[in-house]
């Protein structure tokens, strides 16, 4: 205990401080960069440059040399100096204005001219949201492509369906996959729409009235409108929000996070299904040769990727409430109680969605199907499901429907007892064969029990769905240029 109490903790070590698992374990480098301080504050500087360019174009006394000076110092950010400035000013934007002004003495008088903090803060957030949504679009498209291939390959493979998690009529492995795929198509649409609906806050002033810019342009409202549009264009947007308070409406954040949380529900549902199917040994996620399923039980093949997806998805789903609650308490033109929450919620929503999609892409690249296990389970349940077909076959041979129904009912109950009470195999067909009443159809039982006759239009449905719904969505993306996801995740 004495030695332990004398221990000196090195707080400067990165391992002595909390590090988000989203950064250290799960999310991609590009998404991490999108929400990084480097990207955020260099975007602030780009916005100050865009503002100066637009103000110069509209007649303010801003020199080319001032703009060039700022352009030369977009990325060389002294974060330590900015932190010291923020300690003094207690204001992050003004701290970075001061640091940028030190690097750009010529431009110092016109940096942030007429703007409020939300000019850089909110507009940067909208750029980051736009770029993050685009990254997620391509990742979800990659998952859709993988899953579409899986569905097509297994569209004809009969499998026992489940309703209420109880054996139901047959479907196919590919048709079941289309249920996951359809949900993902809805998510792709929601994320695409969220990105397309994003606008720019633009140059709106402290309470959204553009009063400061009206002063700069001596009451010329048309120039103020032109400034708003020009800054928007220079920043890569085509439209601005028509009205804002000090901030753009936090309803925008809610719409974006809603789309990502909805994606979380899709991922959780799909990966829960995969975990159940892995338990039944019908289907498994990729499992590496050297992978260890359990430290104590070496035979185990745990669905750890699907479990990870479910864990991440639950966190993603929960973030919707944060976004909804934050929007609901933005009094009047704005309050600052959104700031700390948004720093957490927006970044974590994107990083979590990114991490889950990376893992899901990995899973869908290497799903393993076990047809023999699937067939065995069908064989266990199909005799019960074939009862109606047996009755119809007997009627066609001249049998009485009611008499046949009663005989099948009795034999089914006896076979069910063999399975449930004695733990034996389903012997209904043996009982049918042994009953002289069913002699007229005994030779037809093989055809009656062909699983392919119990799957309806499932194969055609898969083909039609892939062609009519999935293919048009994938045509929106150039997936061939994407770097493939490493299977050894």
C-beta separation of 44 from 112 below 8 A = no
Q: At what angle do helices 37-57 and 221-234 cross, to 10 degrees?
A: 140
Both tokens of 180, joined, read: 């996951």
Both tokens of 269, joined, read: 């549902």
Of the given ranges (128-132, 153-157, 475-479), which has the lowest mean pLDDT? 475-479
CATH 1.10.40 fits 387-448, yes or no: yes
- pLDDT confidence of residue 284: 93
Active site residue 306: no
Measured CA to CA, the distance from residue 339 to residue 148 in angstroms comes to: 41
From the list 5, 12, 16, 164, the catalytic residue is: 164
Residue 427: pLDDT band by 50, 70, 90 thresholds?
Answer: confident
Going 194 to 200 to 205 to 208, the CA torsion angle's sign is negative
Instruction: Report the CATH number of the 31-110 domain.
Output: 1.10.275.10
Residue 488: pLDDT band by 50, 70, 90 thresholds?
Answer: very low
pLDDT over 80 (residue 356):
yes
Q: Coil, helix or strand for 296?
A: coil
- pLDDT confidence of residue 429: 83
- The number of C-alpha atoms within 13 Å of 18 and in the hemisphere containing its C-beta is 2
Residue 5: pLDDT band by 50, 70, 90 thresholds?
Answer: low
pLDDT over 80 (residue 395):
yes
What are the respective helix, strand and coil percentages of the chain, to the nearest 5? 65, 5, 30
Mean pLDDT of the chain: 89
Boundaries of every domain in the chain: 31-110, 127-199+248-286+301-329+336-369, 387-448
pLDDT above 70 covers a percentage of the chain that reads 94
- pLDDT confidence of residue 149: 96
User: Of the candidates 101, 181, 89, 92, which has an alpha carbon nearest to the alpha carbon of residue 140?
Assistant: 181
pLDDT over 50 (residue 487):
no
- pLDDT confidence of residue 263: 98
Both tokens of 273, joined, read: 């299904």
- Find all residues with CB under 8 Å of 207, minimum gap 6, and list them: 245, 246, 333
Which residues lie across from 369 on neighbouring strands? 283
Q: Assign a CATH topology to domain 127-199+248-286+301-329+336-369.
A: Fumarase C; Chain A, domain 2 (1.20.200)
Measured CA to CA, the distance from residue 212 to residue 207 in angstroms comes to: 10
- pLDDT confidence of residue 59: 93
Measured CA to CA, the distance from residue 22 to residue 375 in angstroms comes to: 41
- pLDDT confidence of residue 489: 47
User: How many Cβ atoms from other residues are within 10 Å of residue 126's Cβ?
Assistant: 24
- pLDDT confidence of residue 388: 78
Helices (H) and strands (E) in the chain, counts: 21, 4
Question: Higher pLDDT residue, 375 or 8?
Answer: 375
pLDDT (tens digit per residue) in 198-207: 999 999 988 9
Average pLDDT over residues 144-171: 94
Active site residue 164: yes
Measured CA to CA, the distance from residue 134 to residue 196 in angstroms comes to: 10
- pLDDT confidence of residue 365: 93
C-beta separation of 465 from 435 below 8 A = no
User: How many Cβ atoms from other residues are within 10 Å of residue 5's Cβ?
Assistant: 6
From the list 294, 328, 339, 452, the catalytic residue is: 294
Tell the residue number behind the tokens 């609906």, with chain if given.
Answer: 197
Measured CA to CA, the distance from residue 428 to residue 108 in angstroms comes to: 88
User: Of the candidates 56, 143, 69, which has an alpha carbon nearest to the alpha carbon of residue 102?
Assistant: 69
Alpha helices in 329-444 (DSSP H): 339-365, 371-385, 387-396, 401-420, 428-434
- Find all residues with CB under 8 Å of 12, minimum gap 6, and list them: none
Measured CA to CA, the distance from residue 488 to residue 237 in angstroms comes to: 38
- pLDDT confidence of residue 6: 66
Q: Is 148 exposed, middle or buried (0-12, 13-18, 19+ CB in 10 A)?
A: buried
Q: Coil, helix or strand for 366?
A: coil
Classify strands 158-163 and 166-172 as parallel, antiparallel or unpaired.
antiparallel
pLDDT (tens digit per residue) in 295-346: 454 445 788 999 999 999 999 999 999 999 889 989 998 888 888 888 999 9
Tell the residue number behind the tokens 């974060």, with chain if given.
Answer: 79
User: Of the candidates 378, 387, 368, which has an alpha carbon nearest to the alpha carbon of residue 455?
Assistant: 378
- pLDDT confidence of residue 75: 94
Tell the residue number behind the tokens 């940028």, with chain if given.
Answer: 100
- pLDDT confidence of residue 293: 52
Average pLDDT over residues 103-113: 93
User: Of the candidates 55, 58, 119, which has an alpha carbon nearest to the alpha carbon of residue 93?
Assistant: 119
- The number of C-alpha atoms within 13 Å of 182 and in the hemisphere containing its C-beta is 11
C-beta separation of 249 from 333 below 8 A = no
- pLDDT confidence of residue 359: 95
């Amino acid at each position: 205990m004495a030695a332990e109490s004398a221990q000196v903790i090195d707080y400067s070590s990165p391992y002595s401080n909390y590090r988000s698992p989203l950064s250290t374990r799960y999310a991609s480098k590009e998404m991490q960069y999108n929400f990084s301080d480097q990207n955020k504050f260099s975007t602030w500087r780009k916005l100050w440059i865009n503002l100066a360019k637009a103000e110069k174009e509209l007649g303010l006394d801003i020199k080319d040399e001032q703009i060039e000076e700022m352009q030369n110092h977009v990325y060389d950010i002294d974060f330590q100096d900015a932190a010291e400035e923020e300690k003094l000013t207690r204001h992050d934007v003004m701290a970075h204005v001061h640091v940028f002004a030190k690097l750009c003495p010529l431009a110092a008088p016109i940096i942030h001219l007429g703007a409020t903090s939300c000019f850089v803060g909110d507009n940067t957030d909208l750029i980051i949201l736009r770029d993050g949504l685009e990254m997620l679009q391509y990742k979800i498209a990659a998952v859709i492509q993988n899953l579409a291939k899986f569905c097509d390959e297994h569209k004809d493979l009969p499998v026992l369906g489940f309703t209420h998690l109880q054996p139901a009529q047959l479907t196919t492995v590919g048709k079941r996959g289309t249920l996951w795929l359809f949900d993902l198509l809805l998510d792709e649409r929601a994320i695409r729409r969220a990105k397309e609906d994003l606008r720019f806050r633009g140059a709106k002033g402290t309470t959204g009235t553009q009063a400061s810019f009206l002063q700069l342009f001596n009451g010329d409202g048309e120039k103020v409108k032109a400034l708003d549009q020009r800054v928007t264009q220079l920043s890569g947007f085509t439209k601005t929000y028509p009205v804002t308070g000090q901030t753009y409406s936090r309803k925008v954040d809610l719409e974006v996070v809603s789309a990502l949380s909805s994606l979380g529900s899709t991922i959780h549902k799909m990966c829960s299904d995969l975990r159940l199917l892995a338990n039944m040994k019908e289907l498994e996620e990729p499992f590496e040769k050297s992978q260890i399923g359990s430290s104590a039980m070496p035979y185990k093949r745990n669905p750890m990727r699907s479990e990870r997806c479910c864990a991440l998805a639950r966190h993603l789903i929960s973030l919707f409430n944060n976004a909804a609650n934050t929007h609901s308490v933005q009094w009047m033109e704005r309050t600052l109680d959104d700031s700390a929450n948004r720093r957490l919620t927006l970044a974590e929503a994107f990083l979590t969605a990114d991490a889950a999609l990376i893992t899901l892409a990995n899973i869908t690249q290497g799903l393993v199907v076990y047809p023999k296990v699937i067939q065995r389970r069908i064989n266990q349940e199909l005799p019960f499901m074939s009862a109606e077909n047996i009755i119809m076959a007997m009627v066609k041979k001249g049998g009485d429907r009611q008499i046949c129904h009663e005989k099948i009912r009795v034999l089914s109950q006896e076979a069910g007892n063999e399975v449930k009470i004695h733990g034996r195999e389903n012997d209904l067909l043996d009982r049918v064969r042994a009953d002289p009443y069913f002699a007229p159809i005994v030779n037809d039982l093989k055809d009656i029990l062909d699983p392919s006759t119990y799957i309806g239009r499932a194969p055609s449905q898969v083909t039609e769905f892939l062609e009519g719904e999935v293919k048009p969505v994938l045509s929106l993306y150039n997936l061939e240029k994407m770097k493939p996801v490493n299977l050894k995740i």
